[in-house]
């Protein structure tokens, strides 16, 4: 224990350090006086259940099986990767000991019917049993007694929706229904409390049925976008910058894509497209037929000045966020409940998760859910991903007319292969013609500022951001955010803040925000000294969302395990408000809680560190916390995260299984 700390491992004080075996033995015991988890008998029973589940995992369907790389780690690695010993053994097992990276693409696909075999018809839940929308084709139950006979037991005595708003819209299906059910299973309403919230819009940017119908039937009129796209004349491409808008390069924004449904798209918006041929999207758009004639479209309503007069750049709304703390758009984990947590701790600017423009143009409910804005988010933007001028420009016009945002961001930093190979994300940095057309087109149809998020470049040692940033300013963007890593680096090695400082000078007078490796107020101070206009915080907020408070108060917060557990309680309450308090909502909240715990476990309490601050790329060693809960929260084992979720949301369903989004985040 007195040995020097290995490189890449966080410096925890010697008296807290332990071995992997002792760490897990301590958690298995779970019998400390005053422990905040269940008693020893429950723990032993749960362990037996977990062993049975692990035996069954080999036999379940492919959508619920662990990927091979994860199974290799579970079976063959006797020790954690930081504590490998024996050079000879290491050479022999090198392919298996290689640290797992990338995404778990074969993750469990837990659908609602995995949790509930029989669901109650929404018409019964809403108190209108005689007005079933589905009519005789309805496959849901209409008998409340029959539903209750198979309904899982309630999870608690109090319902957060009833306590907050005076009424729970989920009625008898709520997993906390005993708090608001009266005689005859009637839903009780606290009229005085409900009246206080009447007429208040808590969450904006919802997709209306009328708008969804227009998008699906291709009846939405993109007047400004069509005008801009008609002005794009095909030019010969030079190969490097990408072709101009030609017949084979323009995607059909309204063409339905194979395999895309209305399923759960919160996990990663682009994963739904996996397995498709990238060339299948390169279809001809009605706006690029080459005849120069726009398709005739009917217009509705009187002609206004807005229809014929373009806003000059000086008339657009300004994005005044210099010096503010910007929470990055985070796929999967950057959901609305998480953003509410960060707002409470001092985040000034928030942005929705990356949304794929083609899915928005098709009216997919799951994609539109990523645009929702809570009323506490005073400065809020949305981030779009796309590879073609027609889809991105049309999507910008669509959002400009239908939702309330303060800015729109273009994702030119996404490194994942599925996006990159289709020409989106980082690939736009190498397709300058398409990039220019996208920025100019979106800027021409938006009334709010347009921002761009980029990386240093595609290849590790070839930085190109300094060449692109002046062009982005010329094209009309209001701000650039630069992540100090290339696509090849992903999230390995340290962010290059010296290069970010050079780019900040080049970008002036356009604001440039820096992003990368900020996990303490010292990191934030050093970042601001580089001359950037502000900082964007991504993984740092996932590891410790109270980072915003630390930066504003210029201190290290030795937050207790009880306080951290209260944050998780708030997240689950926000999740039940957002996703619902029925079984489906509870399990969706659990899923996103578990995804967040895969980052939270990396936090090392201030009081345990040998010296401050903790670095974002330092991996925590095995240590015993100051109490049982603190130790449990330090575990990187999926099963321990599930135990934490059960403390908040009750037992998991019988067939429950979970794998984190990223392979490096946990082991079983």
Give the catalytic positions in this structure: 414
Phi-psi region for residue 453, left (φ > 0), alpha (ψ -120 to 50) or beta? beta
According to DSSP, the β-strands at 373-374 and 203-204 are: antiparallel
Whether the CB-CB separation of 464 and 435 falls below 8 Å is answered with: no
Residue-level length of the chain = 668
Sequence-distant (≥ 6) Cβ neighbours of residue 478 within 8 angstroms:
316, 318, 319, 407, 449, 450, 451, 510, 511
Does the bond joining 463 to the residue before it have cis omega, within 30 degrees of 0?
no
DSSP-based three-state secondary structure for 548: helix
* CA angle centred on 129, ends 125 and 131, rounded to 5°: 115
* CA angle centred on 186, ends 180 and 191, rounded to 5°: 60
Which of 256, 429, 467 lies closest to 410 in space, CA to CA? 429
User: What is the torsion angle, in degrees rounded to the nearest 10, for the CA atoms of residue 440, residue 425, residue 409 and residue 549?
Assistant: -150
Phi-psi region for residue 425, left (φ > 0), alpha (ψ -120 to 50) or beta? left
Q: Report how far residue 491's alpha carbon sits from residue 617's, in angstroms, rounded to the nearest whole number.
A: 9
Token digits of residue 237: 């491409």
Q: How far is CA 606 from the centre of its chain?
A: 27
80: how many CB neighbours lie within 10 A of its CB?
16
DSSP codes, 169-232: TTGGG-TTGGGTB-GGGPBP--HHHHHHHTT---EE----HHHHHHHHTT----HHHHHHHHT-
Q: Is the dihedral of CA 293, 295, 298, 301 positive or negative?
A: negative
Q: Report how far residue 366's alpha carbon sits from residue 303's, in angstroms, rounded to the nearest whole number.
A: 33
């Amino acid at each position: 224990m007195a040995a020097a700390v290995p490189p890449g491992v966080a410096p925890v004080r010697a008296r807290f350090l332990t071995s992997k075996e002792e760490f897990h033995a301590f958690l298995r015991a779970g019998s400390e006086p005053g422990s905040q988890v269940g008693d020893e008998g429950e723990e032993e029973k749960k362990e037996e259940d977990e062993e049975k589940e692990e035996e069954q995992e080999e036999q379940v369907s492919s959508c619920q099986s662990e990927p091979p790389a994860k199974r290799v780690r579970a079976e063959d690695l006797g020790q954690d990767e930081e504590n490998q010993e024996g050079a000879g053994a290491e050479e022999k097992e090198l392919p298996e000991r290689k640290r797992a990276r990338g995404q778990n693409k074969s993750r469990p696909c837990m659908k609602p019917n995995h949790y509930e075999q029989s669901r109650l018809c929404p018409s019964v839940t809403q108190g209108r049993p005689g007005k079933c929308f589905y009519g005789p084709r309805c496959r849901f139950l209409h008998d409340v007694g029959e539903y209750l006979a198979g309904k899982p037991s309630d999870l608690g005595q109090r319902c957060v929706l009833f306590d907050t708003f005076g009424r729970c819209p989920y009625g008898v299906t709520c997993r906390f229904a005993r708090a608001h059910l009266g005689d005859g299973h009637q839903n009780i309403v606290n009229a005085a409390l409900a009246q206080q919230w009447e007429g208040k819009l808590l969450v904006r940017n919802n997709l209306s049925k009328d708008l969804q119908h227009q998008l699906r039937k291709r009846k939405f009129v993109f007047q400004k976008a069509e005008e801009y796209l008609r002005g794009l004349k095909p030019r010969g491409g030079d190969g490097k910058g990408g072709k101009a808008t030609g017949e084979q390069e323009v995607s059909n924004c309204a063409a339905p894509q194979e395999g895309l449904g209305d399923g759960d798209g919160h996990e990663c918006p682009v994963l739904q497209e996996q397995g498709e041929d990238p060339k299948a999207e390169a279809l001809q758009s009605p706006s690029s037929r080459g005849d120069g004639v726009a398709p005739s479209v009917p217009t509705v309503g009187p002609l206004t000045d807005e229809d014929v007069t373009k806003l000059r750049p000086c008339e657009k709304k300004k994005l005044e966020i210099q010096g503010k703390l910007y929470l990055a758009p985070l796929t999967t984990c950057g959901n609305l409940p998480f953003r509410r947590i960060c707002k409470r701790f001092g985040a000034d600017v928030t942005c929705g998760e990356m949304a794929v423009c083609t899915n928005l143009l098709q009216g997919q409910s799951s994609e539109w859910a990523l645009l929702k804005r809570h009323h506490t988010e005073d400065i809020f933007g949305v981030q779009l991903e796309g590879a073609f001028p027609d889809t991105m420009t049309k999507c910008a016009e669509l959002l400009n007319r239908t939702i309330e945002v303060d800015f729109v961001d273009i994702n030119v930093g996404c490194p994942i292969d599925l996006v990159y190979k289709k020409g989106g994300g980082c690939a736009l940095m190498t397709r300058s013609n398409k990039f220019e057309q996208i920025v100019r087109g979106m800027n021409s149809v938006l009334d709010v500022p347009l921002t761009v998020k980029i990386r240093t470049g595609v290849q590790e040692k070839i930085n190109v951001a300094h060449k692109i940033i002046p062009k982005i300013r010329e094209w009309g963007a209001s701000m650039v955010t630069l992540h100090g890593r290339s696509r090849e680096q992903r999230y390995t090695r340290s962010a290059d803040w010296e290069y970010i400082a050079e780019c900040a000078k080049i970008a002036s007078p356009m604001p440039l925000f820096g992003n990368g490796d900020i996990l303490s107020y010292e990191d934030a101070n050093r970042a601001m000294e580089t001359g950037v206009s502000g900082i964007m915080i991504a993984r740092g907020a996932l590891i410790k969302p109270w980072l915003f408070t630390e930066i504003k108060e210029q201190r290290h917060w030795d937050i207790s395990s009880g306080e951290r557990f209260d944050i998780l309680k708030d997240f689950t309450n926000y999740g039940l408000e957002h996703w619902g308090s029925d079984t489906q909502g509870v399990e969706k909240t659990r899923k996103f809680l578990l995804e967040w715990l895969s980052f939270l476990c990396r936090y090392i309490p201030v009081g345990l560190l040998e010296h401050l601050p903790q670095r974002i790329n330092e991996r925590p060693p095995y240590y015993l916390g100051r109490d049982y809960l603190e130790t449990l929260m330090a575990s990187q084992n999926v099963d321990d995260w599930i135990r934490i979720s059960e403390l908040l949301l009750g037992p998991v369903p019988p067939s429950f299984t979970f794998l984190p989004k990223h392979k490096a985040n946990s082991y079983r």
